[in-house]
Structure 1
Amino acid sequence: MLVFKFGGASVKDAAGITNLAQIVKKYSHEQLLIVVSAMGKTTNALEKLAKAYYNQAVDTHQLYEEVKLYHYSILHNLFDDTHPVFDDVANTFVEIDWMLEDEPVDTYDFIYDQLVSVGELLSTRIVTAYINQVGLTSKWLDVRGFIHTDNTYREGVVDWSKTCTSIQQYVPAMLMSGVVVTQGFLGGTSENFTTTLGREGSDYTASIFASCLQAQSVTTWKDVPGVLNADPKFFADTIKFDTLSYTEAIEMTYYGASVIHPKTIKPLQNAGIPLLVKPFNDPNAAGTVISHYDNQYFKKAIIIVKQNQALISISAKDFSFISENHLSHVYQLFAQNQVKVNVLQTSALSLSVCFDWVEERFNHLLNQLKQEFNVKYNSNLSLITLRHYQYELLKELTNGKKILLEQTSRNTAQIVIAG
């Protein structure tokens, strides 16, 4: 059997969903499970809605109406007005209606997961209905009953044993009778609350199903020709990799390459399942295959740019050296606040850490750190990571930039710059 994952860009409009159905038709002789993200920029829109609701902002209902209008415009382009999918979508929106009726009493992360998760529930209802409309048989699967997580909202930790048991018990029979359509990015707790697996986590969802079902392969359909050595939004002369090793792909995603979610690769590597990254606008193209490959020679460096970064410098209030005890305690605070460390650098008197800026988490972390340490920080920074770099390229990328932190090793260079 095969697992396909379609991202938000591939289902952003009626034409995208039509194209998805044509791709699925080509594989109608296969057992196929497809994982679908929220449509277009819906996750961003729902994030704004979650923040507005949590803060009881005046534009909360306006933001909600914009999300509804976007989805109903796609529905009207795909279906007759009497199609039952309109009822399915309306019933899905009820989950948001119920929340907005009351003032927020839960934590922001809990509210975020309950609201933002609706994007995937909507997209999969629409995709399932359209696949059936074009003559294929598809079944909608609520992933929240199959991927079981703990209560870490926005970063749900998967219970692999329970998850595989659920998937192996029910999904194979569903695959025998048609295409299975499910949601990326989501999980469920033992109390039947929704969790999310981390931003862009739909790739991880596909990896979980593939691993538990021992799939032949996973294909993630993207708006790029495959895995590139750099983001084409920032760099003009990118090259595509025909193949990549699991190890190199893990390194790339760890450092922030957005083409694949960081947690995706390891389960596939453990199971020996190849990952194909292919363009949804050219489904016959070869794309990139990630599998067991020996160490590769790279003609060009891999360049990864992460924006919206923060850099914090921590020193002891008594001017003592930064010790192992300090490091242990600081790491514990980062872990408690779900703040992922991207770069860490120590000196005798200070510790500098670069991480993704998430305002709510940062403010809580900052208040805790200030109780015991002197703290300085900068925000609105960029982190550039170079794999297989040459010093000439390093100089070129940092020329005229204000460098706040620089760290190099044998294969990797990381630079934090202002702006």
Structure 2
Amino acid sequence: MSDTLLVMKFGGTNMQDSAAIRHSASLAGRSLSAGVRVVVVVSAMAGVTNGLLALADAAESGDIAAANDEIAALRTRHFTAAQELGAAPDSPTVRDIREMHETLRQAVYGVYLLRELTPRSRDLIVAFGERLSAPLMAVALEGQGFRAHHLTGGEAGILTDHHFGNAKPLPTTYERVKDRLSGLLAAGVTPVVSGFMGETERGAITTLGRGGTDFSATIIGKALGANEVWAWKDVDGVMSADPRVVGDARNITVLSYGEVMELAYFGAKVLHPLAVTPLQESGIPLRVKSAADPDFPGTLVQAQAQDEAGQPVKAVTAIRNVSIINISGAGVLGIPEVIASVFDAIARENITLLMVSQSSSMSNVSLAVQSSDAERTLAALRAGVSRELMVDRQSDVAVLAIVGSGMRGQRGVSARLFTALASQDINILMISQGSSELNISVAIEGAQVDDATRAVHAAFGLGVRAEAAD
């Protein structure tokens, strides 16, 4: 057995049914057969997370029949996959799945009785997606002749804070993961870990935010000193734009940690925004690979940026469903405490700010937030700042960002961006440039975001045809 260790993460579409799971197991098996040690980290089956969120909301509103129907559908889906992957009806895998569905049913009934869905209860319920898919992957690996053992994120050692819904790992996590997984690996057993989840020091289940299975994989990668972390996706790596919006979007060969964090933060769905943070200290590379074309190298994410000559921008991305919160009035003028009270109110609610803009006279401040956070933001600000100030909301906004390390010190990048937007008659509501000079972002009307993305992508010559013409 070689000293090489890979952590492989499989997303929801690569876990959606028995055929997809079997294929994903074969991708891990390619490395295992070559003597490489592998830790597998799995997402829920495609659509299961949304189904769990829906049944939790149904239980809270009193519709227990709808919740039970969804649980029954999930149960059938997981049992069918287990059977098709070769698990016997009386096998430990089927027994585990049966017990987990019973625990899920009890948790949902508790929400129904209380008519209350706390962040803690929501995490408990939504984590069942990953908890149920890990045994299926273990069965698939065993069916291909490899020894495997499935664990929840908590059992694998991921210890988090109490921010239910968006938890962060505690410093002690890394030693715990190493202790718990090293023995399995040494015994020739492939650990299959439920992604997206961890637990508090008291054993309460937490989740790491949507897309958190990437984060789970990189936490484990750092803990074990992996050679690389591979994120298997249903795309050819990180693209220069959303290929559903831009027909000639192309694969980006190499990105730095900083660039991929900016892309993830500004809406690119390829990775969790914090996924690369555990890897930065140790310099472990992350590779985004296509499950449909496993020999294609995909995108390598590493410490150093790799700039193309004359190409300052690598990608254009967008966050949809954004709201701008405007705080204005003479009371803002030149009083630092007012600005401090604004950010204190936001921090108390644990709301993520996408953009911040302040007029030079300091008579107004604008904040861009996800629309799902807008009502909480408004309530927090109205309660937390002076009554002399006006707080209002502009809905149906999108934030578009261009990202690339080549923008540092490069003249004319902003001009090209604004000229491209002007050519489509797109009105800019807010502008922000990161101090790292890795991104420039603008807030625009949501209805114009697709036209804006295509225009900016073309203006910077990011497409396949433009590349071929060089």
- TM-score, with length taken from structure 1: 0.92
Amino acid at match of 1:313: N
Aligned to 2:227: 216
Given the alignment of the two structures, is residue 354 of structure 1 paired with residue 354 of structure 2, yes or no?
no
Aligned to 1:69: 76
Aligned to 1:16: 20
Task: Give distance in 1, aligned partners of 2:116 and 2:334.
Answer: 37
Conserved 8 A contact 1:110-1:153: yes
- Decide whether aligned partners of structure 1 residues 349 and 37 sit closer, same or farther in structure 2, where only a CA change above 3 A counts: same
Task: Give distance in 1, aligned partners of 2:332 and 2:316.
Answer: 38
Task: Give distance in 1, aligned partners of 2:263 and 2:332.
Answer: 37
Conserved 8 A contact 2:62-2:115: no
Query: Which of the numbers 312, 333, 339 marks the counterpart of 2:325?
Result: 312
Task: Give distance in 2, aligned partners of 1:368 and 1:322.
Answer: 22
Task: Give distance in 1, aligned partners of 2:353 and 2:332.
Answer: 23
- Decide whether aligned partners of structure 1 residues 44 and 394 sit closer, same or farther in structure 2, where only a CA change above 3 A counts: farther
Question: Following TM superposition, by how much is the alpha carbon of 1:104 offset from its aligned partner in structure 2, in angstroms?
Answer: 3.3
Aligned to 1:93: 101
- Decide whether aligned partners of structure 1 residues 57 and 327 sit closer, same or farther in structure 2, where only a CA change above 3 A counts: farther
Conserved 8 A contact 1:229-1:300: no
Conserved 8 A contact 1:278-1:288: yes
Question: Following TM superposition, by how much is the alpha carbon of 1:395 offset from its aligned partner in structure 2, in angstroms?
Answer: 4.0
Conserved 8 A contact 2:138-2:148: yes
Query: Which of the numbers 343, 348, 357 marks the counterpart of 1:336?
Result: 348
Amino acid at match of 2:358: T
Task: Give distance in 2, aligned partners of 1:415 and 1:353.
Answer: 12
Given the alignment of the two structures, is residue 286 of structure 1 paired with residue 311 of structure 2, yes or no?
no
- Alignment gaps of 5+ in structure 1: none
Q: How does 1:171-320 map to 2 (within 5 A)?
A: 171-177=181-187, 178-297=189-308, 298=311, 301-316=314-329, 319-320=331-332
Task: Give distance in 1, aligned partners of 2:125 and 2:22.
Answer: 27
Aligned to 1:374: 390
Deviations 1:239-294 (A, max 9, x none): 21211222222332233322111111122121011111110111111111111324
Task: Give distance in 2, aligned partners of 1:111 and 1:329.
Answer: 31
Conserved 8 A contact 2:324-2:369: yes
Question: Following TM superposition, by how much is the alpha carbon of 1:203 offset from its aligned partner in structure 2, in angstroms?
Answer: 0.8
Question: Following TM superposition, by how much is the alpha carbon of 1:211 offset from its aligned partner in structure 2, in angstroms?
Answer: 0.8
- Decide whether aligned partners of structure 1 residues 90 and 332 sit closer, same or farther in structure 2, where only a CA change above 3 A counts: same
Query: Which of the numbers 25, 44, 48 marks the counterpart of 2:54?
Result: 48
Question: Following TM superposition, by how much is the alpha carbon of 1:42 offset from its aligned partner in structure 2, in angstroms?
Answer: 1.2
Given the alignment of the two structures, is residue 153 of structure 1 paired with residue 164 of structure 2, yes or no?
yes
User: Which deviates more, 373-382 or 173-182?
Assistant: 373-382
Query: Which of the numbers 145, 167, 174 marks the counterpart of 1:135?
Result: 145
- Alignment gaps of 5+ in structure 2: 408-412, 447-470
Question: Following TM superposition, by how much is the alpha carbon of 1:315 offset from its aligned partner in structure 2, in angstroms?
Answer: 2.4
Task: Give distance in 2, aligned partners of 1:83 and 1:308.
Answer: 47
Query: Which of the numbers 297, 321, 324 marks the counterpart of 2:333?
Result: 321
User: Which deviates more, 30-39 or 320-329?
Assistant: 320-329
Task: Give distance in 2, aligned partners of 1:173 and 1:194.
Answer: 24
Deviations 1:90-122 (A, max 9, x none): 111122111122223665311210110000000
Question: Following TM superposition, by how much is the alpha carbon of 1:71 offset from its aligned partner in structure 2, in angstroms?
Answer: 2.6
Amino acid at match of 1:176: A
Q: Secondary structure at the match of 2:378?
A: helix
Deviations 1:218-257 (A, max 9, x none): 0100111111111112211112121122222233223332
- TM-score, with length taken from structure 2: 0.83
Task: Give distance in 2, aligned partners of 1:181 and 1:82.
Answer: 21
Task: Give distance in 1, aligned partners of 2:72 and 2:107.
Answer: 15
Given the alignment of the two structures, is residue 404 of structure 1 paired with residue 459 of structure 2, yes or no?
no
Deviations 1:287-325 (A, max 9, x none): 111113245133654111111212111125x64416332
Question: Following TM superposition, by how much is the alpha carbon of 1:34 offset from its aligned partner in structure 2, in angstroms?
Answer: 0.9
- Decide whether aligned partners of structure 1 residues 147 and 319 sit closer, same or farther in structure 2, where only a CA change above 3 A counts: same
Amino acid at match of 2:225: Q
Conserved 8 A contact 1:53-1:104: no
Conserved 8 A contact 2:152-2:197: no
User: Which deviates more, 297-306 or 407-416?
Assistant: 407-416
Q: Secondary structure at the match of 1:47?
A: helix
Q: Secondary structure at the match of 1:262?
A: coil
* Residue correspondences, number: 415
Task: Give distance in 1, aligned partners of 2:421 and 2:19.
Answer: 38
Conserved 8 A contact 2:254-2:305: no
Amino acid at match of 1:263: L
Q: Secondary structure at the match of 2:251?
A: coil
Q: CA RMSD in A?
A: 2.2
Amino acid at match of 1:100: V
Conserved 8 A contact 1:339-1:362: no
Conserved 8 A contact 1:121-1:183: yes
User: Which deviates more, 79-88 or 228-237?
Assistant: 79-88
Query: Which of the numbers 428, 432, 441 marks the counterpart of 1:414?
Result: 441
Question: Following TM superposition, by how much is the alpha carbon of 1:394 offset from its aligned partner in structure 2, in angstroms?
Answer: 4.2
Flag the structure with larger Rg: 2
Structure 1 residue runs of 4 or more that deviate by more than 6 Å after TM superposition? none
Q: How does 1:112-127 map to 2 (within 5 A)?
A: 112-127=122-137
- Decide whether aligned partners of structure 1 residues 38 and 80 sit closer, same or farther in structure 2, where only a CA change above 3 A counts: closer
Conserved 8 A contact 1:54-1:108: no
Deviations 1:184-226 (A, max 9, x none): 1101012211000111111111111111111111010011111
Deviations 1:327-373 (A, max 9, x none): 22222222221210110001221111112232xx5433322312334
